[in-house]
């Protein structure tokens, strides 16, 4: 198989790819010790048999410029096919603020086509391409050079079998008229907002048990500092301090290095230097909050009496409708959304687009007493009232 290590070779291959309707793409990267993913390898294939038409791009090769690939990403005549692409797209967006268009994700398409929840590439390769995969190189160090033949064979298989998977799923979507369903789902992945992290909002990812205004304000300031420090120094968030230490600091709100030293959960290296100064500054900032500045926790919706039973009925309805159309249940609605519907929330994703067609309408009819559920042998049927 061919490994590309210079810009001219990449440009020539991308030009060849532009002659086809689609290309399949995957990446190998490391992120365990960094804030941003370190891109180590890109696999690309245009239609062909076996390893023909497939290459590895050594992104660590000196002087290699990915500009020809980014030009291909913006070629509207070529569909860019990935599997479970969120992290791949984040890498390219962070690097050049580019998202491939048009774009296709086989994991999303597989869920729409009835292959289950968040189906893995290995499963699709086995069921659709009829190819077993050797996953022993999955957790290899992709930054080490030279790459072994075993690593290369593993990596190239992620795009060669993807060609068969894509063609099968694209045909299935065309037959079932569900191409639009997939396009709806891909809007999140192709939105730049998905890959932009705002430090001001970092606190929302921290699970807290207290709604105290000062506590939440401290969580917000500490999470903001952690995000900025991790980003600026390209280290994982947990290397600054973990969530449990963050919440301890938000509760105790130390105002001196002596008080900071009493923390039970703070890492030793965080008790001095830039991190310790950042913690004290973040805590001090809380004292300057005005009443309107305090963050508000998500309001806890009070469940109406009897809604638990209604939520259970909605789960039965969801399972029946999902089986009828052959779509993964969680792609239609999750448990929290069913509880929200049962509690009377009208603003839930199931009442829009294709979800409304396959479940939302029936859910609303069930809530309003217009239909009932009945057992029919081994299946559940809807009965109009």
The angle at the Cα of 139, spanning 133 to 140, to the nearest 5 degrees, equals: 100
CA–CA gap between residue 176 and residue 325 (Å, rounded): 10
CATH match of 2-195 with 3.20.20.140: no
User: Right CATH number for 199-293 from 3.40.50.11600, 1.10.1200.10, 1.10.150.80, 3.40.50.1820?
Assistant: 1.10.150.80
The string of pLDDT tens digits covering residues 111-124 is: 999 998 889 999 99
CA–CA gap between residue 176 and residue 297 (Å, rounded): 43
CATH topology of domain 307-384: DNA polymerase; domain 1 (1.10.150)
Q: Which residues pair with 42 in a beta bridge?
A: 27, 57
The string of pLDDT tens digits covering residues 43-95 is: 999 999 999 999 999 999 999 999 999 999 999 999 999 999 999 999 999 99
pLDDT at 276: 97
pLDDT at 214: 94
pLDDT at 300: 62
pLDDT at 246: 98
pLDDT at 376: 81
Closest CA to 91 of 39, 166, 51: 39
Q: Are 173 and 113 in contact (CB under 8 A)?
A: yes
pLDDT at 1: 82
pTM exceeds 0.85 for this model = yes
pLDDT tens over the chain, length 385 residues: 899 999 999 999 999 999 999 999 999 999 999 999 999 999 999 999 999 999 999 999 999 999 999 999 999 999 999 999 999 999 999 999 999 999 999 999 999 999 988 899 999 999 999 998 877 777 889 999 999 999 999 999 999 999 999 999 999 999 999 999 999 999 999 999 999 999 999 999 999 988 899 999 999 999 999 999 999 999 999 999 999 999 999 999 999 999 999 999 999 999 999 999 999 999 999 999 999 999 987 766 566 666 888 999 999 999 999 999 999 999 999 999 999 999 888 889 999 999 999 999 999 999 999 999 998 877 899 999 9
Same fold, 199-293 and 307-384: yes
Q: Can you give the residue ranges of every domain in the chain?
A: 2-195, 199-293, 307-384
H helices of the chain, where? 7-17, 67-73, 86-96, 106-112, 121-127, 149-176, 179-189, 213-233, 237-240, 243-252, 257-260, 273-286, 307-325, 329-332, 335-342, 353-355, 361-367
């Amino acid at each position: 198989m061919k490994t590309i290590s210079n810009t001219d070779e990449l440009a020539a291959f991308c030009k060849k790819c532009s002659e086809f309707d689609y290309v399949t793409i995957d990446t190998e990267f490391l992120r365990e010790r960094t804030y941003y993913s370190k891109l180590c390898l890109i696999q690309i294939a245009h239609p062909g048999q076996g390893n023909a038409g497939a290459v590895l791009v050594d992104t660590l090769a000196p002087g290699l410029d990915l500009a020809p690939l980014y030009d291909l990403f913006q070629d509207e005549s070529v569909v860019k096919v990935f599997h479970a692409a969120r992290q791949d797209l984040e890498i390219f967006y962070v690097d050049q603020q580019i998202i491939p268009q048009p774009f296709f994700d086989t994991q999303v398409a597989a869920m729409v086509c009835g292959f289950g929840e968040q189906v893995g590439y290995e499963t699709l390769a086995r069921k659709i391409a009829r190819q077993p995969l050797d996953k022993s190189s999955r957790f290899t160090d992709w930054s080490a050079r030279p790459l072994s033949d075993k690593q290369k064979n593993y990596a190239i298989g992620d795009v060669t079998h993807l060609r068969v998977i894509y063609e099968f799923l694209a045909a299935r979507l065309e037959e079932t008229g569900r191409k639009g369903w997939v396009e709806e789902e891909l809007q999140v992945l192709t939105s730049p907002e998905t890959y932009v992290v705002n430090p001001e909002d970092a606190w929302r990812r921290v699970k807290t048990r207290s709604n105290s205004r000062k506590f939440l304000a401290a969580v917000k300031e500490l999470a903001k500092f952690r995000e900025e420090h991790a980003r600026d120094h390209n280290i994982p968030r947990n290397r600054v301090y973990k969530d449990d230490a963050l919440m301890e600091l938000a509760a105790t709100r130390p105002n001196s290095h002596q008080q900071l030293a009493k923390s039970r959960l703070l890492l030793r290296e965080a008790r001095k230097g830039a991190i310790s100064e950042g913690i004290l500054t973040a805590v001090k900032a809380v004292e300057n909050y005005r009443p309107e500045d305090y963050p508000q926790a998500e309001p806890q919706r009070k469940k109406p009496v009897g809604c638990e039973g209604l939520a259970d009925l909605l789960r039965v309805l969801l399972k029946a409708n999902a089986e009828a159309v052959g779509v993964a249940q969680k792609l239609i609605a999750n448990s929290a959304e069913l509880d929200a519907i049962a509690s009377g929330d009208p603003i839930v994703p199931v009442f829009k687009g294709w979800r409304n067609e396959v479940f939302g309408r029936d859910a609303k009819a069930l809530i309003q007493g217009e239909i009932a559920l009945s057992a029919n042998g081994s299946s559940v049927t809807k009965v109009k009232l």
